[in-house]
Amino acid sequence: MFVTSRLKLLSLRGAIAAMVIAFSGLTIPATASAQLSGAIFTTSFDGTACSGTDLNIYASRQDVYLDGGPHHTGAAGLPDGNYYVKVTDPSGADRLGYTTTASVVVSGGEFVTCYQLWAILVKDSDGTQGYDLTPNNGGEYKVWVSTVSNFDNSSTKTDNFKVDEDGGGGVVSTGTLVVQKFYDANANSVVDGSDTFIIGWKVAIADDATAPATCINQDDFTEVVSVVQPGVCVVKEYMPTQTNWIRTLPAGTDTIVVNVPENGTGTALFGNVCTGPGGGHTLGFWSNRNGQALTSEADLQALAALNLRNADGSPFDPTTLAGFRSWLLSGSATNMAYMLSVQLAAMELNVYEGFVSGSALIYAPGTASANANGFATVNDVMAEANAELGADGQTLSGDPNRAIQEALKNALDKANNNLNFVQSSPCAFTFN
């Protein structure tokens, strides 16, 4: 008992000590905080204000100005406040210049003035105005803007730029790289109809390893409109942490190689859709009292007209609700035709009763009715499933028709469970 009481006392003392620390003003390691919102970019000065164009190539270090916030429609602004700034080599290892205080001000999500980097920084080498030459052979620099002096990642935004001082400070040849992302609502890999562009999708931009350096190697967010050196850029789209996003353009890859011509524009266009609910009701619903109450004699007759199968491959023509319920609940994939049949029956009822639109698009990879990106209408998938059941009613392991029936079964199963309908507008997305 004494040992137990002593342990309780020590535990109580520990709890009190933790409370004292919590309220004493001591610095306690914080948990991961939310990433700083908004964006920064380097640009030029037009005589009265920043040009608003995201530039990545300059003739001299004095030509580089700092801007940020919503430089395109839908982009997030930086939180209002005072910021520290520094310039480093692209790796971040060598500091080349810095502000001595948090002297850069953001108000209303935007910088209050067009800040010339050379004017606001002091050189790391000797403390005089400006910033030192980068040790990078390609003339690349990284600018950092942060709410904290240690430039913690979660409190900091960065942007890379290049200075072509070897050219003697003259005119630099440029082209424009555009990166766009659109929501491909009809999953046809073409921007058309009511398709909308998506702002804030994360992409990686890099040089082509086999070509002269053109692009700054860094991450960015759509819509990207960046002035770069003419040449070849490689753009890769990230996929978000949400797993319901599917790529439609380009097919089969996440990367686009873009040729940026001198005084011209090179464009990388990515398309995606997201999947989710579409009104489906499961086998469980159609076998319970609620589903049974909706299933009419006309519904049973319509189902009997299909090529539905029993476990032994024989035709199933429902005549009673009790018999139909028992058949649904006994569904098994030993004979894939049987499991496909019960999923088909559930989806037919979903359409009969108006829960699902037969013209709705679902993700149905591996089916013959799907387009090149794996999407098909509910009606087309049901028609294909019915035809497959009519052609082969017993698809056991090893049957050559089992794979296509399983793909159809999977598509209908997910639709009945509200997982694979193409949504009419973009879903939420976040990136690590």
Q: pLDDT tens digits, residue range 289-307? A: 999 999 999 999 999 999 9
Burial 324-358 (b: 16+ CB within 10 A, else e): bbebbeebebebbbbbbbbbbbbbbbbbbbebbeb
Pick the closest to residue 141 from 208, 214, 39, 42 (CA basis): 42
User: Among the listed ranges 176-180, 205-209, 382-386, which one has the minimum average pLDDT value?
Assistant: 205-209
Stronger pLDDT, 55 or 52, i.e. the higher one: 55
Give the Cα-Cα-Cα angle 406, 412, 416 (nearest 5 degrees): 140
In angstroms, the Cα distances linking 78 to 98, 387, 418 are 20, 57, 37
Q: What is the pLDDT of residue 214?
A: 83
Strand runs labelled E in 198-244: 202-207, 218-221, 224-228, 231-237
Q: How confident is the model at residue 428 (pLDDT cuts 50, 70, 90)?
A: very high
Going 68 to 70 to 72 to 75, the CA torsion angle's sign is positive
Burial class (CB within 10 angstroms; exposed 0-12, middle 13-18, buried 19+) of 201: buried
How much is the average pLDDT of 391-408? 98
Question: Coil, helix or strand for 194?
Answer: coil
How much is the average pLDDT of 207-214? 82
Going by the DSSP 8-state scheme, the letter that residue 147 receives in this structure is: S
Task: Please say whether the beta carbons of 338 and 271 come within 8 A.
Answer: no
Whose tokens are 């058949």? That residue is 327
What pLDDT digit, counting tens, does each position of 16-54 carry? 333 333 333 332 222 334 678 888 899 999 888 898 888
Q: What is the pLDDT of residue 24?
A: 33
Evaluate if residue 192 carries a pLDDT over 90. Answer: yes
Q: What is the pLDDT of residue 71?
A: 46
Q: What is the pLDDT of residue 387?
A: 98
Evaluate if residue 228 carries a pLDDT over 70. Answer: yes
What pLDDT digit, counting tens, does each position of 261-295 carry? 999 999 999 999 999 999 999 999 999 999 999 99
Distance CA 323, CA 304 (A): 12
Q: How confident is the model at residue 169 (pLDDT cuts 50, 70, 90)?
A: low
Stronger pLDDT, 187 or 6, i.e. the higher one: 187
Query: In which region does residue 45 sit, left (phi positive, over 0), alpha (psi from -120 to 50) or beta (all else)?
Result: beta
User: Phi/psi of residue 265, each to 5°?
Assistant: -130, 135
Distance CA 185, CA 192 (A): 9
Q: Where are the alpha helices (DSSP H) in 289-335?
A: 289-294, 297-304, 321-329
Question: Coil, helix or strand for 203?
Answer: strand
What pLDDT digit, counting tens, does each position of 69-123 carry? 644 444 567 899 999 999 999 999 999 999 999 999 999 888 899 999 999 999 9
**Across the chain, what does the average pLDDT equal?**
89
How much is the average pLDDT of 336-364? 98
Evaluate if residue 190 carries a pLDDT over 60. Answer: yes
Going 113 to 117 to 119 to 123, the CA torsion angle's sign is positive
Question: Coil, helix or strand for 182?
Answer: strand
Give the number of other Cβ atoms within 10 Å of residue 371's Cβ: 16
Ordered structural domains, the chain, with CATH: 34-172 (2.60.40.1930), 173-273 (2.60.40.10), 283-416 (no CATH)
Q: What is the pLDDT of residue 69?
A: 60
Give the Cα-Cα-Cα angle 208, 212, 213 (nearest 5 degrees): 70
Q: What is the pLDDT of residue 20?
A: 32
Query: In which region does residue 287 sit, left (phi positive, over 0), alpha (psi from -120 to 50) or beta (all else)?
Result: alpha
Q: What is the pLDDT of residue 217?
A: 86
Q: What is the pLDDT of residue 397?
A: 97
